[in-house]
Amino acid sequence: MAAINFDFSNSEIPPGVNEPVKLRIIHVILISTAVVGKILEKIGICSQISFVRYMQGIKALGADQKLFIEDLWFEKVPYHSFSYFCCLLLCIRYRLAPEHKYPAAYEDCLHASIHFMKNAEHYGVDPAQISVCGDSAGGNLAAAVSQTLAGRADLPRLRAQILIYPILQALDFNLPSYKQNQAIPLLFQERAAFYVLQYLNGNSSNLEQVLEGSHIPIDIKLNYRKWVSEDYIPERFKVRGYKPHVLLDCSTEVYETVKRFCEPNLCPLLAEDAVVQQLPESFILTCEYDVLRDDGLLYKKRLEDNGVRVTWCHLEDGFHGIINSFNSEWMSFSSGKRGLDNIVNFLKSL
């Protein structure tokens, strides 16, 4: 009952959201899982984060006799291998925050990618047909890895990058989508900022400053406004009551704790044009009712401005995390199925 009360008191689900009742049920389950985890932590059984990860990990894949699954290692980096006919999918089990701070996850994904690309033929894979993919935080890592690998003459060129509602910057949590969707499940504005801080240094003490935009000096923010600005968000995405945010300055002490937010390996939207120009063909999926929508829109513009071919899928009634529910029949969403179909069609077209 407490979880239900919290959901109705703190979240907002606009009429345009896909299947709102089902979304509320999922949100209540997630809240309940977090509460149970906190109770277990209090009585000394396990940490809250360990319990939440355990519950997320027990979602079984649908039975398919044609799907072959292995748990393997690239040197010190574990991964899941999924083989289905002529397709091979490798899911990197990178180290997680807050136990492992930036750049641990990025380094794991990069090292695993390089190892696979150098040994693609050993796995029966055409080196010219390797793509990277990730959703949410994984989308951040996929984008960062793609940028690092761009232009490397000692490796095959990536065929494509697939970014599913990625988080790509931490300079401005007051872009239109962050304000319009700040209380829409499954990712609140405050949670997005909290997770980024956890990834950066495992410390959320500067959460208030990050949310209000007083964590980056004005001169630095102005320097990056050529890439991170509401001015580049199409007007049709500002109709739900968005009001421009006033620029705030920050103290030296606060900036010192978060200055790595300006590193492209952490915030790929800030990469130089020379790097962006070398990126492979890209697929970007965004959702209207997602705080991360504008990160995807801004990156789409950057890629297109630099001559990179982009296939864009926008789910008008979608929300953050909608693709993840495709495998559970009672939790699946028709909009999420459409998004997944678009990803599959993109892969088939390569």
Catalytic residue ranges: 136, 290, 320
CB 273 within 8 A of CB 303: no
Write out the E strands in the chain. 67-74, 77-84, 87-92, 131-135, 160-164, 281-289, 310-319
Q: Report which of 270, 292, 268 is spatially closest to residue 282, judged by C-alpha positions.
A: 268
Query: DSSP label at 242?
Result: -
Report the distance separating Cα 304 and Cα 308, nearest Å: 5
Report the distance separating Cα 143 and Cα 145, nearest Å: 6
CB 184 within 8 A of CB 12: yes
CB 226 within 8 A of CB 232: no
Report the distance separating Cα 247 and Cα 213, nearest Å: 7
Q: Report which of 205, 216, 184 is spatially closest to residue 288, judged by C-alpha positions.
A: 184
